[in-house]
Amino acid sequence: MTTPKTHDRIDIFAFVDALGWEVLRGRPFLEEELPYRQPVRSVMGYSSACVPSILTGKQPRDHGQWSFFYYSPETSPFRWLRPLALLPRSLTGRARVRNVISKLVARIQGYTGYFQLYQLPFRFAHEFDYCEKRDLFAPGALETTTTIFDELRASGIPFHMSDWRATEEENLRTLRERLPKGDLRFAFLYLADLDGLLHQVGKSHPSITARVARYEARLRALLADARTYYRDVRFTVISDHGMATVTDCVDVQARIDGLGLRFGRDYVAAYDSTLARFWPRSASARESLVTALGEIAGGHLLSHEELVGLGCDFPENKYGELIFLMDPGFIIVPSHMGLKPITGMHGYHPDHPDSNAILLSTHAPAAPVGSICDFHGLMRLAAAA
């Protein structure tokens, strides 16, 4: 006896973090089920910038989210961490210790978004604030704009949204358990584990092939379930960025420290994995930084015109007055994100093929898709159809 289909149509968007076009190259993945396939240009930055761009349809400068830490001593919530700088780095640099402190900070500050101190030096933590204080998927998450989920709530369209804090297994199970009710119009599945594995082993490792095959099997089963309960199932897999293989490490901090400038007096810097961001406090410090950065191989200082074109020209230089971007394959080590080299990294220029995200679907897109910002409009059209 077959189960009657109880609803006309459902649109399911499965978000797989870091499943880039080049990551999929040469690996089978739902070709028959998802015949409409294309690379999609990402935005400059990390998932902290990409995910808000997907949810809002806007560039980073317009939704306001980019790298986690930004210069703002007046609003810094981290002043009380300064005494921890007196403890040995062999202790405070440990990932487990950092995780415990990060959870404590999040609880004290009431943060509901993703929060992690990474390797931000406690000595200078009071110079910085943090951008993702609120859960990006919660109502009214962003001050300057709405997300697709704000819009779905306002429209009354029945939808399902994964919990980004839950495991992939839990998110898959929760959606599959909801499907038999036949009451959904739109579903967003969140799968985030691939990103971490790609950072560890790089995109060419056999374990990535195995992980992609596992996603293929589970998403095929999910699609079959959906077709059991809905007459018209439109299934789309999207991602936020890809992953490049790390080939070289550059100690940008050591080069800048060698200038004789004092961090906190002459300048402040945030060292991400692929971005070094500076706020000079004098014209002479700025000149010295510009000269030094121009001599570092493996990256370049982004011009204002480049930042405008990338949608990263933030008001009042919120995320950096001078922004140095590494070339694909180069990373900054040590950085405020990590002290040791890793095998895979993203956050490079969006024009590089390894930065490309994906769009794979059962149906042709209802509107042109050139950037991950276009996913928002695609989801909105799908939910309203």
- The per-residue pLDDT for range 222-241, each reduced to its tens digit, is 999 999 999 999 999 999 99
Overall number of domains in the chain: 3
Domain co-membership, 120 together with 16 = no
Domain co-membership, 118 together with 210 = no
Domain co-membership, 33 together with 161 = yes
Least confident of 2-11, 82-91, 105-114, 372-381: 2-11
Domain co-membership, 222 together with 260 = no
Predicted confidence (pLDDT) per residue in 312-325, tens digit: 999 999 999 999 99
Domain co-membership, 157 together with 221 = yes
Give the percent of the chain with pLDDT over 90.
Answer: 96
In a domain, 66, yes or no: no
Work out the pLDDT band at 6, boundaries 50, 70, 90. low
Mean pLDDT throughout 60-68? 97
In a domain, 130, yes or no: no
Predicted confidence (pLDDT) per residue in 171-212, tens digit: 999 999 999 999 999 999 999 999 999 999 999 999 999 999
Work out the pLDDT band at 3, boundaries 50, 70, 90. low
Give the percent of the chain with pLDDT over 70.
Answer: 98
Residue 1, pLDDT score = 38
Say if CB 53 and CB 372 are below 8 A apart. Answer: yes
Domain housing 294: 247-341
Report the alpha-carbon distance of residue 306 to residue 310 in Å, rounded: 6
Asked if the model's pLDDT at residue 5 lies above 60, the reply is no
CB atoms within 10 A of CB 339: 13
Domain co-membership, 55 together with 183 = yes
Domain co-membership, 233 together with 147 = yes
In a domain, 230, yes or no: yes
Average pLDDT, the chain: 96
CB atoms within 10 A of CB 226: 21
Domain co-membership, 302 together with 165 = no
Asked if the model's pLDDT at residue 2 lies above 80, the reply is no
Question: Which carries the bigger pLDDT value, residue 166 or residue 6?
Answer: 166
Domain co-membership, 207 together with 255 = no
In a domain, 65, yes or no: no
Q: What's the CA angle centered on 245, arms 346 and 58, to 5 degrees?
A: 20
